[in-house]
Structure formats: C-alpha cells, structure tokens
Amino acid sequence: MRLTGKVVFWQDQKGFGFLFCEQSQEKLFFHIRDLMPNSDTQAKVRPAEGDTLSFVRGTDKQGRAIATELMIQSSQTPPVATTKRKNAVDLVYAQDVALYFRAAFLMLVIIALLFGSLPYVLPILYIEASLFTYWLYQADKNAAIARQPQRLPEESLQMFSLIGGWPGALFAQKKLAHKSSKPLFQREFWLVVLANCILLSWLLSQHGQQFLSRLALFTL
C-alpha cells in the first residue's frame, strides 16, 4: 500500500532526508537512491522541503522503518532540467573574477617585494584574500542550493585558502555550512592552513627576512 508524506528535512548534497507520513503520523528516513524516475521526463527530479511524496513503507538493514519506492506527487520547485532557477549563479563570471584577483594579488606581492615591505602589507593581503575566498564559497553555496550541475572546483577554493584566504574560508564554512561536512575536503583544507601558517612563520623569521631582502635586491 502506498502512503503519502511531506518532506520536512532534505540534505541535497548528501542525498537523504526525512518525511512526515500523513497516515501513520511518523517521521521516516528516505534516500535519493529510492526515488523513482519521473513518468514524464524519465529522470529523477530531486525533492525539496515541502514536497509531497508517495512511498512504500519499508525497513533498512537494522530493521528501522524507512520510506522506499518514492515518487514526487507535488513539488515546491520545478524540475532543474526544464526550468532555470531564479537564483542561478553565473559561475563563469566568478571564475573570471577569480583569475583577475589572482593576477592582482600576484602583482601586489611583487610590488611589496620590490620595496621590501611584504611583512607590513601581509595583513592587508590576508584580509583581501579572505574576503574574496568568502565570496567564492558563497557563490558555490548558492550554486549548490540552486542545484546547478556546474560548481567551482574544490582545488580553486583550496588554492585561495593557501595564499592567505583561509580565515575567510573557515568563516564561510561555519556561517554558510558549506564544505564543512566533507571529510576529504576538510583534511585537505587543514593541511593547506598548516602549510600557510608554516610559510608565514618562516617569512616573518630572521631567515625569511634575509631571503626577502636578497629577493628584493635580485628583482631590482
């Protein structure tokens, strides 16, 4: 017997959620793998909170009740494949801006080296890199919310953290709840933070200052 329920929680990135069954008045877990293809498009339309699903009550390997053989009866959002979302993000523009920012950032570093003032402008560089990195995280998060197939490469996000934007990345992960639940990404992120801190400590050390002085003389 098929039952109906409303989605009360949905984690799109992980592909699972919970629905509230109208007949049994219970909260049931469901997974995207149990969603049946849409009869019109023959494609899986991803659910969202507030959608009404029909399902068959089943059990998982531990014997817990779950919802299976899911079908979307009514959706709060139109299919991604046929309708462009209003909050779609232009990631091509974001990548272009990221390219310009990298060029400008490198130019500032070279100018600071030429004048021997890199240690003094480092706080400004960190603030600029952090603000831009936060903006990139927000753009990628908005793309995820809009369920866009294109996303910013994780390597690009990590690279901006490496050059000094990791405080902004860390703030974005906490505030936007973005990339904070991906173990592999988190391991890479903290390795990047460690590498940046080691490099910064070396640059501010006596040996680093001597290296920067010689590099400044070499570039003149």
CATH number at 24 reads 2.40.50.140
Backbone angles phi, psi at 10, to 5 degrees: -145, 125
pLDDT in tens, the chain (220 residues): 889 999 999 888 778 999 999 888 999 999 988 888 765 444 557 788 889 999 999 999 888 999 999 988 876 555 444 344 445 678 888 888 998 998 999 888 878 877 778 778 889 999 999 999 999 999 999 888 877 778 899 999 999 999 999 999 999 999 999 999 889 999 999 999 999 999 889 888 888 777 777 766 665 5
Select from 112, 111, 116 the least CA-distant residue to 214: 116
Res 83: pLDDT: 41
Query: Could you tell me if 115 and 168 lie in one domain?
Result: yes
For the record, the structure tokens of 145 come out as 């919310």
CA–CA separation, 76 and 141 (whole Å): 20
Could you tell me the pTM of the whole model? 0.59
Q: How many domains does the chain have?
A: 2
Q: Identify the bridge partners of residue 57 per DSSP, sorted by sequence position.
A: 67
Res 75: pLDDT: 67
Cβ(219)–Cβ(212) below 8 Å: no
Res 111: pLDDT: 84
For residue 202, the enclosing domain spans 91-219
CA–CA separation, 151 and 140 (whole Å): 6
Q: Following DSSP, what letter does each residue of 180-204 receive, concatenated?
A: TT-HHHHHHHHHHHHHHHHHHHHHH
Q: Identify the bridge partners of residue 66 per DSSP, sorted by sequence position.
A: 29, 58
Of the candidates 18, 40, 74, which is a domain's last residue? 74
Res 216: pLDDT: 62
Res 86: pLDDT: 47
Query: Could you tell me if 197 and 141 lie in one domain?
Result: yes
Query: Could you tell me if 107 and 32 lie in one domain?
Result: no
CA–CA separation, 1 and 190 (whole Å): 49
Residue 118, phi-psi category: left (phi > 0), alpha (psi -120 to 50), beta (remainder): alpha
Of the candidates 14, 46, 74, which is a domain's last residue? 74
CA–CA separation, 66 and 21 (whole Å): 10
